[in-house]
Chain A
Amino acid sequence: METDQLIRSLAADNAHRGHPVGFVLALALLAAAPVSVAMFFVGLGVRPDVMTAMRNPFFDLKFLVTLALAISAIAVSLHLSRPEASLRGWAWLLLIPAGLLVAGVAGEMMMPQRLPMMTRAVGGNSRVCLTAIPLMSLPLLAAALIGLRHGAPTRPAVAGAIAGLLSAGLAATLYASHCTDDSPLFVATWYTMATALVTAVGALAGSRVLRF
């Protein structure tokens, strides 16, 4: 086919235009969220002492960290869905949840504690944490990849990794309401490990499905 002929057919299709990536990403995440929420209520459930726990600032900090991760990853992934975008000037957004966590760890260090540091870091839920966060993030990761596929990310592995961060942030938000380990040291150790795992899966999947 001649290039002029192809151009003619493209111009004839000008009326058809795709939805914005943000719209498709939002739809996909909204469709996947009930699956993760169902997994949460079937397998884990909210901790019984949640009303008392809410008065503990370190319990609340967990949500601050995980939501900050999810929101900043959504912003970065939408940015990266444009072909000419680079991480420069945007990567610092991902430091916000890390900064909050570091502040939490420092804050806890300054307070008198009943339990030694190692006990707080190891906690009692590490295995559940390492399983539940990745499992609950899978539907969300799939949704995020579907949303980003609608865009034009020129660095598919990086975009996939950010999709991993995004879904891990959302899944960890659910998990945080179940887990009785509230020490920022526990969060910094196990949540981070679970998130790293999901990020690696996201990068691997992204490098396959996000090419266009």
Chain B
Amino acid sequence: MRERDEEWTGLMRSAISGDSAAYHRLLKAVVPVLRAAARRGLARAGQPVDQSEDIVQDILLAVHLKRHTWDVNAPFAPWLFAIARNKLIDSLRRRGRRVFVNIDDFAETIPGEPAAETASASEVAAQLQSLPARQRDVLQAIAIDSASIKDTAAKFAMSEGAVRVALHRGLASLTAKLREQ
């Protein structure tokens, strides 16, 4: 557990200093833990666990957009679990049940699920359709067609800077739409 936390903290530090590959690895590493906790939260609230992926994606977006509030000198796991807990409570509440989530739900989770498995969720995909065309196109190209920023710029005859802006705005408005729904 301690080793895992130190690895996450190291990856996040590299990510903050500009290493996108480290960031990618970190996000992939935390997903099984988040997924297990989301399932447990849903099960405890008596709700179908197949919605867990929506919660996982919601948490990932919040982690991404709020990562400037992480202190590089602090361990990463407590920060992550605080964000995750907040999002989990929020989405369970939105689904119509008042629940309390124990912080230990996250801390004690052992990723028992096969880590290679990737799951699909519907909420982000649905909100994606309501984004402005440019943001949606860029997000789709990068996320679904796994195009690079450069390829996406060429494909839509945009500058790379404009692609970056559209990508970030797209992610930010996705998050805002998820919160308002």
User: Does B associate with A?
Assistant: yes
Residues of A within 8 A of B (CB): 1-21, 81-84, 151-152, 154, 211-212
Interface size on B, residues (CB 8 A): 53
Of chain B, the residue at the smallest CB distance from A16 is B168
Q: Is the CB of B168 within 8 A of A1?
A: no
Picked from B53, B65, B142, the residue with its CB within 8 Å of the CB of A18 is B65
What are 27 A-B contacts with C-beta separation under 8 Å?
A: A1-B121, A1-B143, A1-B144, A2-B118, A2-B119, A2-B121, A3-B31, A4-B28, A4-B118, A7-B24, A7-B31, A8-B143, A8-B146, A9-B139, A9-B142, A10-B64, A11-B24, A11-B27, A13-B64, A13-B167, A14-B15, A14-B19, A18-B65, A84-B79, A84-B81, A152-B69, A212-B62
B164 part of interface (Cβ distance < 8 Å): yes
Docked Cα-Cα span, A63 to B23, in Å, equals 47
Docked Cα-Cα span, A17 to B171, in Å, equals 13
Docked Cα-Cα span, A107 to B18, in Å, equals 56
CB distance from A7 to the nearest CB of B (A): 5
B2 part of interface (Cβ distance < 8 Å): no
Chain B residues near A15 (CB-CB < 8 A): 18, 20, 164
Of chain B, the residue at the smallest CB distance from A14 is B20
Chain A residues near B144 (CB-CB < 8 A): 1, 5
Q: Is the CB of A3 within 8 A of B57?
A: yes
CB distance from A84 to the nearest CB of B (A): 4
Docked Cα-Cα span, A182 to B20, in Å, equals 58
CB distance from A21 to the nearest CB of B (A): 6
Binding site secondary structure of chain B: helix
Docked Cα-Cα span, A154 to B86, in Å, equals 6
Q: Quick one: given A8-B24, A13-B64, are A1 and B171 in contact (CB under 8 Å)?
A: no
CB distance from B81 to the nearest CB of A (A): 8
Q: Quick one: given A84-B78, A152-B62, are A6 and B164 in contact (CB under 8 Å)?
A: no
Write out, one digit per residue, whether chain B residues 54-81 have a CB within 8 A of any chain A CB (1) or not (0): 0011001110111111110010001101
Residues of B within 8 A of A (CB): 15-16, 18-21, 23-24, 27-28, 31, 53, 56-57, 60-62, 64-71, 74, 78-79, 81-83, 85-86, 90, 118-121, 124-125, 128, 139, 142-144, 146, 148-149, 164, 167-168, 171, 179
Chain B residues near A20 (CB-CB < 8 A): 68
Of chain A, the residue at the smallest CB distance from B66 is A152
Q: Is the CB of A12 within 8 A of B28?
A: no
Docked Cα-Cα span, A21 to B66, in Å, equals 10
Chain A residues near B70 (CB-CB < 8 A): 82
Q: Quick one: given A2-B119, A3-B56, A9-B142, are A212 and B66 in contact (CB under 8 Å)?
A: yes
Docked Cα-Cα span, A82 to B81, in Å, equals 12
Chain A residues near B90 (CB-CB < 8 A): 211
Q: Is the CB of B23 within 8 A of A2?
A: no
Of chain A, the residue at the smallest CB distance from B175 is A212
Docked Cα-Cα span, A84 to B67, in Å, equals 12
Q: Is the CB of B71 within 8 A of A82?
A: yes
Of chain B, the residue at the smallest CB distance from A83 is B82
Q: Is the CB of B79 within 8 A of A8?
A: no
